[in-house]
Amino acid sequence: MSITVTFYQFAKRENSTAQPTQSTVSTTVDVLLKDKCTDEQPILILNSTDIDNYLPYNYCYIPFFSRYYFINHREVDTGKRLIIYCGEDYLASFKSALLLESGFIKYSSSGSYNIPETRMATTKGYTVATATADFPMAVGGNNYFLSVTGINGVETYNLFRSDIKDLFSNLQWNTLSVSDASDEKDALKKLANLLGAGFEQMFTQGTVFNNIRSAYVLPFPPDEEILGTSKNIYAGYYDTGIEGQPLVESIFSQAVAIGIPWLYNDWRRCAPYTDVYLYLPFFGTITLDTNTINASAYLTVKYSVCYSNGDVSYSVETDQNRIVATGKCNVRAEYGIGSSNMGIGAGFNSEFNEAIPLLNQIPVVGEAIGSGLNAVVGAMQSFGKGASKEGGLGGFSDAGLELKLKCWTVTKQFADTQSNFASVYGLPEMRVDSFADKTGFLQTADFYFSYSAATENERNKISALCNNGIYID
């Protein structure tokens, strides 16, 4: 049977739908179709005296079958005829029908960079990227506070350490001395002044020492917004002579933004390929859920400080205002107080001991005053023990560590680049879609080519090719 065949010099990649174009080198001739061959593997017989002219051709189109074919091999028979064995190019032959199909597409060149690419191999290496941001609260240095009941109620003052030390050491007793008395009469006079000062402190709205509620240290200063004007500190109605700035507000809140140092802008932001850590001063390091924050470029760290008790609360939000972490710590360190370092007991004991030799020279008066002083000293010492010593270090020791916000990513390394891999194997698509607008790589799942003009064998061949991956060219 004689048929017309167009031969081409044509090259294309494996499993491609590409077809020859008008510019492809070609020649059209009449050939004989060998008997008892199939439309998938036709055998052509060329009666020609110039066989060499046809050797460069490796591809053909047979209009009789409306199909494209690869030339698998050639041979010359005993009659010096060129025998050409062909094999069907299924994808080129049914390209138009295939592009009308749709199905579940696993991978394609038009897939998404945001879907995890599980086919790419990782290596044992990793890359660390870091970002830092100044933390206004964490400026370093110790800041001292005294909480006291005074003429305006309970107030908390920001002081220098030396101020608290002076206040606790002697509470104005350094101006009262008995030891320098010139005689017995002068000693009585001075002791009377000493008693007057003691009773003034004891009986002006309770003891001075019971009015001192606590003293503590914070590893950062209060913001000027929450501090009042410096003024004298009163313990009850007693003027201690020490100045301090009172807290007019206990709570101060602020927010700081810090960028996330992503290494990639695709699926590699997800777990388990990238881990994200955030260091919060005074609190420590937290691990963030990468899959929750991978669409965010930065984080906002909101913090609230209670300057009266040292609590620090954190809230971490994405740039979509989603809260992804919260935490709380305490940074207050107590400044220990009690009768041993608050001078009323020490003052009486010291001055009384100095006065004893002089007072004993006045027998009755000395005995009476001495026993009375002992009672007063015991009472004052017991009052002093009422000062609070509750509390602990909490996060205070963190002041010696990093005082900046720090965010870092740890990303696995891959055996190949995403662009190199995608150019050959496409990107994950994982959805049902039409093939009409697809170009490049395409791989389906459980696809079946149902074109009625194809044979069952052709439908199965094309289905298997698509499920293993083809190139739409």
pLDDT at 350 over 80: no
Alpha-carbon gap, residue 40 to 61, rounded angstroms: 12
Q: Are residues 287 and 325 in the same domain?
A: yes
pLDDT score for 178: 52
What's 175's DSSP letter?
A: G
Confidence class for position 105, pLDDT limits 50, 70, 90: very high
pLDDT score for 135: 83
Alpha-carbon gap, residue 211 to 235, rounded angstroms: 5
Q: Are residues 53 and 160 in the same domain?
A: no
Alpha-carbon gap, residue 404 to 236, rounded angstroms: 41
Q: What angle, rounded to 10 degrees, do the helices at 184-203 and 343-359 form?
A: 160
- The verdict on whether omega for the bond into residue 20 sits within 30 degrees of 0, i.e. cis, is no
Q: Are residues 128 and 230 in the same domain?
A: yes
Phi-psi region of 216 (alpha: psi -120 to 50; beta: other; left: phi over 0): beta
What's 361's DSSP letter?
A: T
Question: What is the token pair recorded at 427?
Answer: 């990107």
Contact 110, 375 (CB under 8 A): no
Is residue 463 within a helix (H) or strand (E), and if so which, with residue range? helix 456-468
Question: What is the token pair recorded at 315?
Answer: 């809230």
Among residues 73, 92, 68, the alpha carbon closest in space to that of 83 is found at 73
pLDDT score for 6: 97
Q: Are residues 109 and 138 in the same domain?
A: no
Alpha-carbon separation of residue 323 from 289, 290, 314, 326, 393 (angstroms): 11, 13, 11, 8, 28
Confidence class for position 345, pLDDT limits 50, 70, 90: very low
Alpha-carbon gap, residue 243 to 443, rounded angstroms: 79
- The count of structural domains within the chain is 3
Q: Are residues 394 and 427 in the same domain?
A: no
Instruction: Tell me which residue has tokens 């932001």.
Output: 269
Alpha-carbon gap, residue 426 to 468, rounded angstroms: 13
Alpha-carbon gap, residue 400 to 397, rounded angstroms: 6
What is the extent of the structural domain holding 365? 124-414
Q: What is the largest CA-CA distance in the chain?
A: 157
Q: Are residues 422 and 409 in the same domain?
A: no
Q: In what order do the strands lie in the sheet with 333-334?
A: 231-235, 238-246, 153-159, 143-150, 212-218, 333-334
Confidence class for position 397, pLDDT limits 50, 70, 90: low
Contact 67, 93 (CB under 8 A): yes
Instruction: Tell me which residue has tokens 């191999």.
Output: 121
Alpha-carbon gap, residue 332 to 148, rounded angstroms: 17
pTM of the model: 0.67
Q: Rounded to the nearest 10 degrees, how much is the dihedral formed by the CA atoms of 87, 93, 95, 96?
A: -170
Alpha-carbon gap, residue 455 to 460, rounded angstroms: 9
Q: Are residues 129 and 272 in the same domain?
A: yes
Among residues 386, 428, 395, 445, the alpha carbon closest in space to that of 148 is found at 386
Q: What is the mean pLDDT of residues 256-278?
A: 93
Among residues 392, 391, 379, 393, the alpha carbon closest in space to that of 210 is found at 379
Q: Are residues 445 and 346 in the same domain?
A: no
pLDDT score for 337: 63
Q: Are residues 63 and 174 in the same domain?
A: no
- What would the pLDDT profile of 352-379 be if each residue is shown by its tens digit? 444 445 444 544 444 434 444 443 333 3
Contact 59, 8 (CB under 8 A): yes
Beta-bridged to residue 205, according to DSSP, are none
Q: Are residues 176 and 238 in the same domain?
A: yes
Domain endpoint, select from 414, 440, 456: 414
The 3 state secondary structure assigned to 48-65 is CCCHHHHCCCCEEEECCC
**Phi and psi angles of residue 202, each rounded to the nearest 5 degrees, phi first:** -75, -40
Q: Are residues 37 and 84 in the same domain?
A: yes
Domain endpoint, select from 74, 93, 112: 93
What's 227's DSSP letter?
A: B
pLDDT score for 417: 85
Q: What is the mean pLDDT of residues 451-463?
A: 96
Q: For residue 452, give the 3-state DSSP assignment.
A: coil
pLDDT score for 398: 57
pLDDT score for 186: 65
Residue that wins the pLDDT comparison between 448 and 249: 448
Alpha-carbon gap, residue 245 to 78, rounded angstroms: 116
pLDDT score for 258: 96
Beta-bridged to residue 239, according to DSSP, are 234
Question: What is the token pair recorded at 169?
Answer: 């050491």
Q: What is the mean pLDDT of residues 290-294?
A: 92
Q: Which of 168-172, 192-196, 246-250 has the highest mean pLDDT?
A: 246-250
- Report the relative pairing of strands 59-62 and 2-8 from DSSP bridges: antiparallel
Q: Are residues 38 and 61 in the same domain?
A: yes
